[in-house]
């Protein structure tokens, strides 16, 4: 069952996916905090922890459901024309529409982050929460909305890894559990870091565009799509990992340079 971890690809995927789950989960932490802050102080931390634990359980259940649907590999319908050949299966449909959803969601989120930064927080603040149970229900609903892109991201990062279908599922579950535990332990420092460096969240949303495109291309490859006689090939995940790692390296260098510039500015003022 743990044979998948003998390869370097699995470890790279696990680290990258855990990082993305944490960064993409920042909005979730913010909204959970907003919902919890409407409770008495003694219940706020408990509501946050219970909400994150339920988020973890909910995501694992969704992972099982999505993994089952992706397991439906046999085509149930064929399209054959003079220029297009496609064998449509449950797996291809999930990957294709999941990719389209990630493209839409990431583009919309980037627009809201830049143009309407307070939009989602205002919507949560408008809701009346008067009890612990209402706060938990609100948190679960919020997390379900945010779970969709998280689950699709996990699928895009791990699909095709390992020899057995369960290998990728195990990898996704481990990444989700680690990311939720880290958020429970370091929710406040993580939130402060992302608030100080909002470009990190925009970068993660940009990665979703890459993953969304990869899901669409993978759906076409797995359904043996041929356009004008040319079959759609597979995109090696190493390209995706390199693009993410290189972008993060550049961003961390930018953060370091900005810190140096700020320190030089303070020294000049002194």
What is the percent of the chain where pLDDT is above 90?
Answer: 0
- Residue 51 near residue 32 (C-beta atoms within 8 A): yes
Per residue in 63-105, pLDDT tens? Answer: 888 777 777 778 888 888 888 888 888 878 888 888 888 888 7
**Average pLDDT over every residue of 23-47:** 72
Quick one: pLDDT band at residue 107, thresholds 50, 70, 90?
confident
Task: Please tell me which residue, 257 or 152, carries the higher pLDDT value.
Answer: 257
**Average pLDDT over every residue of 219-235:** 84
d(CA 262, CA 128): 42
Phi, psi of 85 (to 5 degrees): -130, 125
d(CA 155, CA 132): 33
pLDDT for residue 255: 84
Burial class (CB in 10 A: 0-12, 13-18, 19+), 177: middle
DSSP 118: T
Q: Is the per-residue pLDDT at 40 higher than 70?
A: yes
Task: Please tell me which residue, 164 or 221, carries the higher pLDDT value.
Answer: 221
Name residue 16's beta-bridge partners: none
pLDDT for residue 148: 72
Per residue in 120-175, pLDDT tens? Answer: 555 555 555 557 777 777 777 767 766 776 777 777 777 666 666 677 778 888 88
pLDDT for residue 117: 59
- Residue 152 near residue 172 (C-beta atoms within 8 A): no
**Average pLDDT over every residue of 25-49:** 72
- Residue 22 near residue 183 (C-beta atoms within 8 A): yes
DSSP 4: G
């Amino acid at each position: 069952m743990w044979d998948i971890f003998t390869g370097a690809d699995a470890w790279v995927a696990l680290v990258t996916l855990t990082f993305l789950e944490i960064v993409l989960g920042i909005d979730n932490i913010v909204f959970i905090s907003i919902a919890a802050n409407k409770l008495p102080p003694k219940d706020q931390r408990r509501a946050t922890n219970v909400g994150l634990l339920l988020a973890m359980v909910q995501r694992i259940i969704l992972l099982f459901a999505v993994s089952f649907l992706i397991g439906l590999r046999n085509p149930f319908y064929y399209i054959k024309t003079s220029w297009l050949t496609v064998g449509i299966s449950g797996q291809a449909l999930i990957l294709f529409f999941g990719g389209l959803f990630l493209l839409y969601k990431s583009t919309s989120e980037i627009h809201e982050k830049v143009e309407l930064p307070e939009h989602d927080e205002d919507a949560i603040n408008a809701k009346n929460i008067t009890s612990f149970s209402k706060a938990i229900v609100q948190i679960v609903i919020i997390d379900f909305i945010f779970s969709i892109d998280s689950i699709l991201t996990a699928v895009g990062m791990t699909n095709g890894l390992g020899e057995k279908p369960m290998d990728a599922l195990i990898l996704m579950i481990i990444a989700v559990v680690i990311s939720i535990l880290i958020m429970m332990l370091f929710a406040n420092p993580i939130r402060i870091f992302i608030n100080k460096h909002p470009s990190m969240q925009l970068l993660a949303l940009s990665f979703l565009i890459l993953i969304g495109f990869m899901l669409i291309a993978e759906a076409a490859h797995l359904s043996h799509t041929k356009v004008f006689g040319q079959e759609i090939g597979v995109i090696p995940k190493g390209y995706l990992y390199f693009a993410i790692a290189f972008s993060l390296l550049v961003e961390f260098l930018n953060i370091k340079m900005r810190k140096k510039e700020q320190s030089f500015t303070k020294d000049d003022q002194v």
